[in-house]
Amino acid sequence: ENYDNLQAFAEDIDTYSKLLEDFNETVPNLVETVRSGGGSLDQKELCKAARPHPDGIQALFPSKQLSLTPAGYVEPLLTPMRHPTLCTKGFNVYNALRLDYLVHDFEQMCLNLKPHSKSIFIDMGASLKFHGQSGAKPPVLELMISFEK
């Protein structure tokens, strides 16, 4: 059963990751809009722009493997806390250090914003992912790009 769930999530996360590549380009700067009072829209309507799918993030995960936290939906909180291919395609450095298994509930993050909210960057550690790989970005830059909007 766990194996089947992991396989279903792996398919969902591949779809989600591909969609997310272009998604950030279409979302306005919601932090600034919330800080300035939201304009003519209430915050709930404004935050719908942060949905990667018109029916919300859950629509992208038919396997229903997302975990719900106070901050919104996140990837399943199961071992190995890495991309599912680490278990299914064998261990290698690429699979061990992939970040595209992380799920970001941008709509809920937007709903949690307050006019006084601040962006704080905390680097939680180092990664060897980008050493020796030509053109590879440090993982922290990948995350910053995801949250740029």
User: What's phi and psi for 61, nearest 5 deg?
Assistant: -125, 70
Better-predicted residue by pLDDT, 102 or 144: 102
Which pair of tokens denotes residue 48?
Answer: 């719908």
Q: What are residue 69's phi and psi, to 5 degrees?
A: -125, 170
Confidence check: pLDDT of 79 > 70? no
Q: Provide the mean pLDDT of the chain.
A: 78
Q: Whole-prediction pTM value?
A: 0.74
Amino acid 84: pLDDT: 74
Across 48-57, 97-106, 125-134, 139-148, least confident range? 125-134
How confident is the model over 1-20, as pLDDT tens digits? 777 888 888 899 989 988 88
pLDDT at 23: 76
Task: Check whether 149 has a pLDDT greater than 60.
Answer: no
47-74: pLDDT as tens digits: 888 898 999 999 999 999 899 998 899 9
Judge whether residue 26 has pLDDT over 90: no
H-type alpha helices, the chain: 2-23, 30-35, 43-47, 85-88, 93-97, 106-111, 139-146
Question: Are the CB atoms for 61 and 141 separated by under 8 Å?
Answer: no
